[in-house]
Amino acid sequence: MLSKGTFVLGGAASGKSVWAENVILNNSITANYVATSTIQDDETFFRVKVHKDRRDARWTTHEAAFDLAPILENIPPSRPFWLIARPCG
């Protein structure tokens, strides 16, 4: 049984998203994906597009760069969520 929420933290391009996506694929479940990245340049735009294109219908994607509370409060208790973030600074 997976926990309701999993916080995945790591540097840019460290494999956070691929790891989370593989957990979902290997467990045949649906999940919410809370993305915290902001598009600041062409490189980030491309990386976000690759991530979005890789996820299928098992994922509901929520974009919340700054205010996570409304997103997390509205995720149904029956669906796990993955918060993918990279440290600021």
Tell me the helix, strand and coil percentages in the chain, rounded to 5: 35, 20, 45
Residue (of 87, 7, 82, 26) closest to 51 by Cα position? 82
What is the average pLDDT value for the chain, to the nearest integer? 76
Q: What pLDDT score does 42 carry?
A: 92
Q: What pLDDT score does 89 carry?
A: 47
pLDDT of 7 above 80:
no
